[in-house]
Chains A and B, each alone.
Chain A
Amino acid sequence: MKTDKLFEMNVGVTTVMNFNTMKRHFKESFISMARNRWMSFASISAVTVTLLLVGVFLTIMMNLNKMSTDIKNDVEIKVLIDLSANETSEAELQQQVEKMPGVESVKYSSKKQELDKLVKDFGNDVSLFKQENPLHNVLYVKADDPEQTEKVAKEIEKNPAVDTVKYGKDKIEKLFNVLNISQKVGIVLIIALLLTATFLISNTIKITITARRREIEIMKLVGATNSFVRVPFILEGMWLGAIGSILPIIGVTTLYSIVHSSLAPKLESSVVQILDVMPFILEVDIILLVMGVLIGVVGSFMSVRKFLKV
């Protein structure tokens, strides 16, 4: 009952924010940013520095990831078929391998094709083998998961029609170890960087808002609801975060374009490729923008919440 009376005394406003108020909040957030120039500058700088680091790091990490995937996908098992095997047992072998769990693809290559490849790579010096081809017929097998290569290879080896299985055992194991470790280190670093960034930025925002603690108190004494106080601050945090992401976006985009144009041609014939500028850098840019906005909004929200209880 008493609440009804309160609301009734108050020119009917409760939950739905009207258009004028929303407009007022937007205006308020811009004015506040302009009047707190130095604080705004400090917050924007903090966002800029961290997002720049995150951007560079993200670009490197995603490329390393792509390269390691390239290398992994290049790993295949070369199954040399026993010379004594006839066509039927070769076909059986191929079928058996194809049905094997963990096998992605199987490609048959006759010893003639193998010799052609050899001739292509080494020239006519090896063409004298053409009289009597000493090579084996071969199956090229790819595993679904490159790390399962060894298991698949051992399984294939059991078939009597197989002479030898080659998959660069030691090399692959070492490579996978290195890749795994570097990926884990990268993830740990990114998380550490993000935590530092969040801490640094929310700290800056907290300082900004602590300076306005008195203002928040006064607003509440004049009858402002929590959301009325909060919305302009959150909008302001959003602008600050977005503005802070501008330089990192420009920087990372430019830097990557330059690096890409000088590095990509050199890697053209290699197994390992770096990511194309588009759409990759656009994704990074969006991530940076979203992170900036998110940091600003969350930072404001957390800090303003502390002072709302008056």
Chain B
Amino acid sequence: MIEMKNVVKKYPNSVVAVKGLNIQIKQGEFVYIVGPSGAGKSTFIKMMYREEKATSGEIKVNGTDLTTLKDREIPFLRRNMGVVFQDFKLLPRKNVYENIAFALEVIEKDPEEIKKRVMDVLKLVGLTKKVKMFPDELSGGEQQRVAIARSIVNSPKVVIADEPTGNLDPETSWEIMRLFDEINARGTTIIMATHNKDIVNTMRKRVIAIENGQIVRDERGGDYGYEF
């Protein structure tokens, strides 16, 4: 599903964020990416949806080599994965329905099907009553649920989440995690960068720890391993 070989990422300011990553993630896995701030987690995540391009090495997602992907092909890559962010990244001037529908409009689904699928995911994330509301009228947890709904509405094989609970209180964070678990249970691969010790230690999954741009630990059912 996701494969990295000797991936290196140097930034123009000569900072080396990732130094030779090798990784393999299979379809249906749930993977936490942990590690201290500035260890290269974000770069790692961003390379998977090609916001950042690897300097060298090979990244394959669903058999597509991202290191040779042309810029104009990037949208097509992103349509096959869901991405969830710490700051939700909802379109502020679109209501809940329109935000989710947008992901289907870009792949030119017909309006009838868009409607049906949006209502289906809204039911899944429990927001059917808030379709017409705008992001600034929702709580953080609700916004993140909209973002998750958007990420899965075109049934991607993988959802990538960059600290999805980073801006949420503990209780809300658990609601969000239960949602991810449910999505994972349906066979969707989930890759999640997180700083949440409780979650990682309670909801046991595969844990990959990155420090200094390198993988220092990769264990199934592992614990968080850091104090914070």
Contact = CB atoms under 8 A, between A and B. Distances in A.
Contacts of B89: 217-218, 221
Contacts of A151: none
A32 B77 contact: no
A2 interface: yes
Given A221-B78, A222-B78, A3 B105 contact: no
A21 B90 CA distance: 21
Most B CB contacts (10 A, CB to CB) among A3, A20, A223 go to A223
A223 B79 contact: yes
B138 interface: no
A6 B78 contact: no
B111 A10 contact: no
Nearest to A7: B76
Given A5-B62, A219-B102, A223-B106, A310 B93 contact: no
A128 interface: no
B12 interface: no
Contact of B80 (A10, A13, A18, A215): A10
Majority DSSP secondary structure for residues of A touching B? helix
Interface residues of B, number: 35
Given A11-B109, A13-B108, A225 B93 contact: no
Interface string A197-237: 00000000000000000110111111111101000000000
A223 B107 contact: yes
A36 interface: yes
A223 B76 contact: yes
B84 to A, nearest CB: 11
A24 interface: yes
A232 B54 CA distance: 32
A9 interface: yes
A221 B105 contact: no
Interface string B65-76: 100111111111
Interface in A256-310: 309-310
Given A18-B108, A225-B75, A310-B51, A219 B91 contact: yes
27 contacts: A2-B68, A5-B63, A6-B64, A6-B73, A6-B77, A6-B80, A9-B79, A10-B76, A11-B108, A11-B109, A13-B107, A17-B108, A20-B111, A215-B92, A217-B89, A221-B49, A222-B102, A222-B103, A223-B75, A223-B76, A223-B107, A224-B102, A224-B106, A226-B72, A228-B75, A228-B106, A309-B71
Interface of A: 2-3, 5-7, 9-11, 13, 17-18, 20-21, 24, 32, 35-36, 214-215, 217-226, 228, 309-310
